[in-house]
Amino acid sequence: MSFISALFGSKKKETDRIAILNKEEYKEAIEHKNIQLVDVRTSLEYTSGHIKNALNIDFFNANTFQREFEKLDKDKPVYLYCRSGARSQKAAYKLLDMGFTKIYDLKGGYNNWR
């Protein structure tokens, strides 16, 4: 066990279920129909521009976040993004705690997408 993982704990098991995809990988993955694509930014950020067919579930609204994600299929992959990648990464760990099995995150977020 390394010094860092001893200090902060190991996320190895969890990160096996969270994949960070670059723009090209993400774009290819979400081209398929019937995917769970979620923008975790605020509604104001979402209305200023978003990826086509993305649901908007605001990370900062804890009640709505939990309730809306409970409606999704935990056994199907979820594709997340936010503005820069920080919020969606936090959201990904929340989803693991909720029982989601595979989560994909857009590297660099929507800023990288445009």
Q: In a 3-state reduction of DSSP, which class is residue 53?
A: coil
Known active-site residue 61: no
User: In degrees to the nearest 10, what's the CA dihedral of 35, 41, 47, 51?
Assistant: -30
Strands (E), 16-77: 18-21, 36-39, 55-56
Residue 92 identity = A
**Residue 56 — φ and ψ, nearest 5°?**
-110, 115
Q: Which of 82, 91, 92, 95 is catalytic?
A: 82
Report the alpha-carbon distance of residue 94 to residue 86 in Å, rounded: 13
Active site residues: 82
